[in-house]
Amino acid sequence: MTIPKRQFDTLIIGAGGGGLRAALQLAQADASVAVVSKVFPTRSHTVAAQGGVNAALANVTEDNWHWHMFDTVKGSDYLGDQDSIEYMCRAASRVVYELEHFGVPFSRLDTGKIYQRAFGGQSQNFGGAQATRTCAAADRTGHAILHSLYQQNIRAKTHFFDEYFAIDLISDDKGFILGALVMEIETGEPLLIEAKSTLIATGGAGQLYRTTTNALINTGDGMAMTLRAGIPLQDMEFFQFHPTGIAGRGMLITEGVRGEGGFLVNSDNERFMERYAPNAKDLASRDIVSRAIAIEVREGRGCGPDKDHVLLKIDHLGADVIKKRLPGIRQSSITFVKIDPIYDPIPVYPTAHYTMGGIPTNRYGQIVVPEKESPEVPIPGLYAAGECACVSVHGANRLGGNSLLDILVFGRAAANHIIGYLKENRYHRPLSQESVDKAMQRLTRWDDKSPGESVDEIKNELKKVMEDHCSVFRDKQVLKDGIDKVNVLSDRLTDARLTDHSKIFNTARVEALELENLMDIAKATVVSAHAREESRGAHSRVDFTERDDVHWLKHSLYYLDGQLEYKPVRTKPLTVDTFPPKPRVY
């Protein structure tokens, strides 16, 4: 079969904030850019971001990037790479002002400056009073950013392949990645997109869990493609559970609610966060608040008939503030649990939210792998940015408001590096037919109409296994059982089929391909979690309750065959002194 081909300077897989920020930079530099997205670009998950983006603009309280850097290093439980963190925090103000110029309608203070709200883990003066650092467009910041970036890309003539699914990366005979095989979802037709450089910006893998804030599209496709290309995934044991998902449903109630003055109570009507984080209280970092809620419920102080959640109170803020600053979360609460938070508290419980681990990159967005001479050797022409990447600015625990910042800063940085790369790599190289055939087999395998188990059942079971075996609290035996169960599911997937044999719908094929990807990510997560015998950030082991900097201040690298390696944390910042590990109190 001859597969149609298109050629571009750069292929970007993913049209969320990371992909679109990179595409804009490249298109404005006159590179020919293809952006492939399995959903229409403005439906990418960035659209769901609510609370805001961090930058030390100092519009509300005194602030500077160095304090932001300190908070991010501390928030990461010292696993974040300090060169990347310095780079991101220094770039933050410029990136936010750029957004303003792209047309993002930020909320305003009475002075006319960009509105900023308090978020968890933010401080002034290296751990002092609460900072107010998160720039917001009401509680729809991601929506505002994504739409503005899309419009700017249309103006810059970025070429979009909307509703195309990337199946796998394509290489030459030497293994250099030169684009991807994609499928047009409407027709099921394959297309080869050849590129001199490729940027993966496919977002996170929140669909690993049953209760999640993430959309159905967040299936870790780019991470799995990278694994199949022989590249390891970094720090996959660190998965963030957001403290305030709507109980039993998972939809997010932004941390901005607590930033505006909302607080959590248990069945005794006690503000229990005062016990767990005497200074920051409800604005302690997310890992700490999530664990506190789980403990309250476990110890019998949960609310509701089943005592399985706590309550988030905001009625004291008044109807005007709620309607002006938090209209989206009010609507979510009314829609999903029929509670108007102007009058009654919202039932909440921790919910799967953010993939801290991902494709290892440096601060130029280059994908890096360990080789004999160095733990981080860049792969020429191959980049990753956004939630699928691990640069690593979030380490073991991401601070709220730092992901939108991450995707914008490193989307832009990757594009700038690609512009230089393209100057030195002007011609397309021949593709390896073997690599194309291999990618095609991944697609055609789902045309097999012989009997087999349903893909949907396996997916539902996988999400339950991950929730039961690799959630807020973990221990050796529970994780070991989790590995065994994921392996059984993985074997079952090899014999699974699309069940409606009269006609195979392309959307069903996409879901099957996504499940294959999720399966590899599940293995990476649970195997890496089983191996890390300490508690750090979001990885909380009941059998190893302390952080162990002597043995575990290092990044994990998981390979497709299940092997793990480790590499050092980049503890040296670019220009300032290192923040050495300290006990983390809020």
Rounded Cα gap, residues 404 and 400, in angstroms: 9
Contact 102, 152 (CB under 8 A): yes
Site for ligand FAD in 162-191 (CB under 6 A): 165-166
Minimum Å distance from CB 213 to ligand FAD? 4
Site for ligand FAD in 403-422 (CB under 6 A): 403-404, 407
Site for ligand FAD in 209-228 (CB under 6 A): 213-214, 217-218, 221-222
Rounded Cα gap, residues 272 and 294, in angstroms: 12
Q: Is 455 exposed, middle or buried (0-12, 13-18, 19+ CB in 10 A)?
A: buried
Mark the segment that binds ligand FAD (CB under 6 A) among 12-20, 148-156, 437-445, 571-579: 12-20
Q: Could you tell me the CA-to-CA distances from 122 to 61, 282, 286, 346, 352 in Å, in that order? A: 11, 12, 12, 24, 22
Contact 376, 357 (CB under 8 A): no
| CB closer to ligand FAD, 145 vs 458 | 145
Geometric angle at alpha carbon 371, from 365 and 377, rounded to 5°: 20
Contact 543, 475 (CB under 8 A): yes
Mark the segment that binds ligand FAD (CB under 6 A) among 79-87, 308-316, 394-402, 427-435: 394-402
Rounded Cα gap, residues 253 and 247, in angstroms: 10
Give the β-pairing of 473-474 and 540-541: parallel
Per rule CB under 6 A, count of chain residues that contact ligand FAD: 46
| CB closer to ligand FAD, 138 vs 483 | 138
If binding is defined by CB under 6 A, does position 328 make contact with ligand FAD?
no
- Active-site position among 286, 398, 547, 570: 286
| CB closer to ligand FAD, 17 vs 482 | 17
Rounded Cα gap, residues 323 and 342, in angstroms: 9
Q: Which amino acid is at 2?
A: T
If binding is defined by CB under 6 A, does position 142 make contact with ligand FAD?
yes
If binding is defined by CB under 6 A, does position 48 make contact with ligand FAD?
yes
Nearest to 378 by CA among 400, 391, 356, 362: 362
Rounded Cα gap, residues 229 and 73, in angstroms: 31
Minimum Å distance from CB 146 to ligand FAD? 7
Q: Which of 42, 107, 141, 198 binds ligand FAD (CB under 6 A)?
A: 141
Give the β-pairing of 374-384 and 366-371: antiparallel
| CB closer to ligand FAD, 19 vs 482 | 19
**Contacting residues for 355 by C-beta, under 8 A, at least 6 apart:** 204, 205, 206, 220, 223, 236, 239, 240, 387, 388
| CB closer to ligand FAD, 398 vs 555 | 398
Mark the segment that binds ligand FAD (CB under 6 A) among 196-204, 297-305, 415-423, 550-558: 196-204
DSSP state, residue 432: P
Mark the segment that binds ligand FAD (CB under 6 A) among 85-93, 98-106, 281-289, 396-404: 396-404
Residue 429 falls in the annotated catalytic set: no
If binding is defined by CB under 6 A, does position 37 make contact with ligand FAD?
yes
Q: Which of 31, 33, 34, 51 binds ligand FAD (CB under 6 A)?
A: 51
The pair of structure tokens assigned to 234 is 């970094």
Minimum Å distance from CB 482 to ligand FAD? 23
Minimum Å distance from CB 48 to ligand FAD? 4
| CB closer to ligand FAD, 15 vs 526 | 15
| CB closer to ligand FAD, 115 vs 544 | 115
Nearest to 23 by CA among 362, 357, 365: 365
Q: Which of 10, 197, 366, 402 binds ligand FAD (CB under 6 A)?
A: 402
Give the up-direction half-sphere exposure of residue 128: CA atoms within 13 A in the CB hemisphere. 7
Mark the segment that binds ligand FAD (CB under 6 A) among 17-25, 59-67, 492-500, 521-529: 17-25
Minimum Å distance from CB 389 to ligand FAD? 8
Residues within the interface to ligand FAD (CB under 6 A): 13-19, 36-39, 44-46, 48-53, 141-142, 165-166, 201-204, 213-214, 217-218, 221-222, 252, 254, 354, 386-388, 400-404, 407
Q: Which active-site residues does the annotation give? A: 286
